[in-house]
Every structure is written in structure tokens, then in C-alpha cells.
């Protein structure tokens, strides 16, 4: 289904506003439920807050995203039927896995297995990485088309990497939600420029929901995303990146995605290297992430978050330029 530019703009604005309202009101509900059922993030030596705070923010995100996604599905009923089913699976399953962890503090191995299941089912529903950019095209062509086995493996790896990367940077008030807004705007712009309007609308719903949540989460936060929020944002961003830039035949398809995700992927890579060098489990927690280092050298929470916003914006602009310039 093709929309005119005017209709596309109006629908994009409408879906962002709708998801913002859903995220704003859903987060109010999340705060109430978190306190009522004692689903609280309690301070410890690794965390920077000093009092228990509800960690049920995923309710706000899914409240903002789900309705907008369903509306987008109605606009594109047949063309994106299989994609819609996979997106609904990704949103609901990542929320459920995260909520279980928020309530029961799952062991890392169970969280990892849950993420693998999410990626596996998404692949079987048709949401998959089927080729990679070949940066040495003179050897075997511009693209490396993956066999079903490698497509399955890489898709799972991508979901697990992005979900954990987003989860790991959720350490300061407003950081993950704000970075998700920046990444989402960049991804939606590239998706629209590539003619993948459906993906652009889905990403705008994530942007609106994150902004609605952010009104309650910026310093001093009244609520945290919790794993129900961070895993959900990570899974949905992993999904739309597969449906958008990674699904388009362009020599630089994976480059803009890596640039846009520079903050979470870079922080995760450094964390893995740091823990391997110290012979610690890669899933062990520490207080040496990028945002912790900024606090350590003297910046306060708001300053550290704004610095990381700026870095995310710079990398996203570069990523958008590369993605659009070489589409």
C-alpha cells in the first residue's frame, strides 16, 4: 500500500503522538503497579540511586508501542501480515521475559536462553537476516547470502547482542530511553528513505513510547525501565533494523546500523573485553560502564546523560548520512 507524502507525514505524526500518550499514561500505571506489588529496584553498591524505585517501566513502553503497531498493521493488512506476526511476538515475548526477571531475578543463563528463543521464533516467523554486506566485493560479489543455518545463527546473535547491549547501558536516569529515541529517529529516517514506510511507522511508535516514558524517567526518575523495558526496546530495535537497513540491498547496509548503535554496542564490547581480561564471567555486573566512568571523573547524572545523548546523536547523524548516501 502506497501513501502520499502528506498522508505519510500525517500518519507518522499521529502514530508518534498516540504512542507518546500511551507511553505517558502506561508509565503512570507502571509506577502504581510497581509500588503495589513491590516490584522495586533497590539500591546497592553497583547502583547510583538511593531509594527503592519501581522497575516496571516496560508496561509504559508496551502500552505506547502495541496500539500503534496494531494500527500500522491495519494500514498494511496483507503485505506485512507475516512481519506483523513476528513483531507482535518480539514485543510481547521480550516484555514477558523482562517482567519475569524484574519479579524473580532470573539467573543470566535463563535470560540468555529466553533471548535465544525470542530470536529463534522470530526467524521461523520470517524475521531474519538473509545476507551480509561483503566489504571485499571484488572477491565474490557485493553480498554474502547466508545459508539457512547461518541465517538462523546470525539472526539469533543479532537479537541477543542488541537486547543485551541496550540492557547494559540502562544505568542512569533517562539514559536508555533517550538513547532509544535517538536511535529510533535515525532508524525511522533511513527506513522512510529506503521506501520501507511500515518499518518507519513501527520505529516512530517506539520513539513516541520512549518519550512518554522519559517524562517520568529523566532525573530524578520516578520509575525505571527494568528488564521488561530494556529487553523490549532492544528486541524491537533489533527487529526494525533487520526489516529496514539490513533488509535492503546496499553495499553499506550494516555500516549505518553499527554506527547508530555505537553507544550500546561499544559499551557492551568494552564490558566483554574487560571481563575476559580479568577472567570474570561476561554476565557478571560491575560499575565500570561508560556512564559510570563519566560519573567517576566528576560529571553529575544529568551531565553524563546529556554527554552520551550528544555522542549518540553524532554517531546517528553519521549513520544516517552513510545509509542514505549509499542506498
pLDDT in tens, 255-309: 788 889 999 999 989 888 888 888 887 777 777 889 889 989 989 999 999 999 9
Q: Which residues, in sequence order, are CB contacts of 189 under 8 Å at separation 6+?
A: 200, 320, 324
Alpha-carbon distance of 62 to 32, in angstroms, equals 16
Q: pLDDT by residue (tens digit) across 187-228?
A: 999 888 888 888 899 999 999 999 999 999 999 999 999 999
Which pLDDT belongs to residue 188? Answer: 93
pLDDT of 212: 97
CA 255 to chain centre: 17
Cα 93 from Cα 164, distance rounded (Å)? 15
Q: Measured between alpha carbons, how far is residue 195 from residues 3, 133, 143, 171, 192 in Å?
A: 11, 20, 20, 35, 5
Strand stretches in the chain, DSSP E: 40-41, 53-54, 131-133, 143-145
pLDDT at 57 over 70: yes
Measured between alpha carbons, how far is residue 243 from residues 189, 262, 263 in Å?
13, 19, 21
Query: Which pLDDT does position 15 carry in this prediction?
Result: 92
Pairing mode, strands 40-41 and 131-133 = unpaired
Question: Do the beta carbons of residue 98 and residue 231 sit within 8 Å?
Answer: yes
Tell me the C-alpha distance between 237 and 183, whole Å: 8
Q: What is the mean pLDDT of the chain?
A: 87
Q: Using the 8-state DSSP alphabet, how is residue 48 labeled?
A: S
The model's confidence at residue 243, banded by pLDDT at 50, 70 and 90, is confident
The C-alpha R_g of the chain, in whole angstroms, comes to 19
pLDDT (0 to 100) of residue 3: 65
Residue with cell 509500588: 35
Place of cell 554486506: 133
Cβ atoms of 300 and 293 closer than 8 Å:
no
- The interaxial angle of helices 58-75 and 226-243, nearest 10 deg, is 30
Q: Could you give the CA distance from residue 62 to residue 235 in angstroms, rounded to a whole number?
A: 12
Residue written as grid cell 528463543: 117
Q: How high is the pLDDT of residue 256?
A: 84
Helix, coil or strand: residue 76: coil
Quote the pLDDT of residue 251. 45
Does the pLDDT value for residue 46 go beyond 60?
Answer: no
Instruction: Confirm if 175 and 221 have CB atoms less than 8 A apart.
Output: no
Rounded to whole angstroms, how far apart are CA atoms 222 and 255? 36
Residue 59 has what pLDDT?
97
62-68-71 Cα angle (round to 5): 135
If pLDDT is split at 50, 70 and 90, which confidence band does 313 have?
Answer: very high
Grid-cell match 508509565, residue found: 27
Label residue 327 by pLDDT band (50, 70, 90). low
Percent of the chain with pLDDT over 90: 57
pLDDT-based confidence at residue 229 (cuts at 50, 70, 90): very high
The distance from CA 42 to its chain's CA centroid, rounded to whole angstroms, is 24
Q: What is the mean pLDDT of residues 143-151?
A: 84
pLDDT of 8-38, one tens digit each?
A: 788 889 999 999 999 999 999 999 999 999 9
Beta-bridge partner residues of 132: 144
Whether 213 and 23 have beta carbons less than 8 Å apart is answered as yes
Question: What pLDDT sits at residue 41?
Answer: 86
Give yes or no for residue 56 having a pLDDT over 60: yes
- 137 has pLDDT over 70: no
Amino acid at each position: 500500500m502506497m501513501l502520499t507524502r502528506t498522508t505519510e507525514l500525517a500518519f507518522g505524526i499521529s502514530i508518534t503522538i498516540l504512542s507518546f500518550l500511551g507511553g505517558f499514561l502506561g508509565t503512570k500505571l507502571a509506577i502504581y503497579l510497581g509500588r503495589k506489588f513491590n516490584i522495586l529496584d533497590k539500591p546497592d553498591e553497583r547502583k547510583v540511586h538511593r531509594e527503592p524505585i519501581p522497575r516496571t517501566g516496560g508496561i509504559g513502553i508496551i502500552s505506547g508501542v502495541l496500539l500503534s503497531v496494531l494500527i500500522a498493521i491495519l494500514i498494511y493488512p496483507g503485505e506485512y501480515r507475516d512481519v506483523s506476526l513476528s513483531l507482535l511476538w518480539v514485543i510481547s515475548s521480550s516484555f514477558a521475559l523482562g517482567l519475569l526477571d524484574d519479579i524473580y531475578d532470573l539467573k543470566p543463563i535463563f535470560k540468555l536462553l529466553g533471548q535465544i528463543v525470542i530470536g529463534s521464533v522470530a526467524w521461523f516467523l520470517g524475521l531474519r537476516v538473509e545476507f551480509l554486506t561483503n566489504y571485499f566485493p571484488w572477491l565474490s560479489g557485493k553480498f554474502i547470502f547466508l545459508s539457512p543455518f547461518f541465517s538462523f545463527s546470525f539472526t539469533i546473535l543479532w537479537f541477543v547482542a542488541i537486547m543485551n547491549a541496550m540492557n547494559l547501558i540502562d544505568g542512569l536516569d533517562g539514559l536508555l530511553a533517550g538513547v532509544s529515541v535517538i536511535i529510533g529517529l535515525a532508524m525511522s529516517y533511513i527506513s522512510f528513505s529506503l521506501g520501507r514506510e511500515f518499518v518507519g511507522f513501527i520505529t516512530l511508535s517506539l520513539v513516541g513510547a520512549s518519550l512518554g516514558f522519559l517524562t517520568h524517567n529523566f532525573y530524578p526518575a520516578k520509575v525505571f525501565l527494568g528488564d521488561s523495558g530494556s529487553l523490549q526496546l532492544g528486541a524491537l530495535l533489533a527487529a526494525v533494523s533487520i526489516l529496514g537497513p539490513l533488509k535492503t540491498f546496499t553495499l553499506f547496509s550494516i555500516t549505518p546500523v553499527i554506527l547508530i548503535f555505537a553507544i550500546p554496542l561499544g559499551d557492551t564490547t568494552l564490558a566483554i573485553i574487560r571481563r575476559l581480561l580479568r577472567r570474570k564471567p561476561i554476565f557478571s555486573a560491575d560499575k565500570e560502564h561508560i556512564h559510570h566512568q563519566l560519573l567517576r571523573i566528576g560529571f553529575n547524572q544529568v551531565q553524563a546523560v546529556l554527554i552520551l545523548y550528544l555522542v549518540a546523536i553524532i554517531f546517528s547523524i553519521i549513520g544516517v548520512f552513510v545509509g542514505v548516501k549509499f542506498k
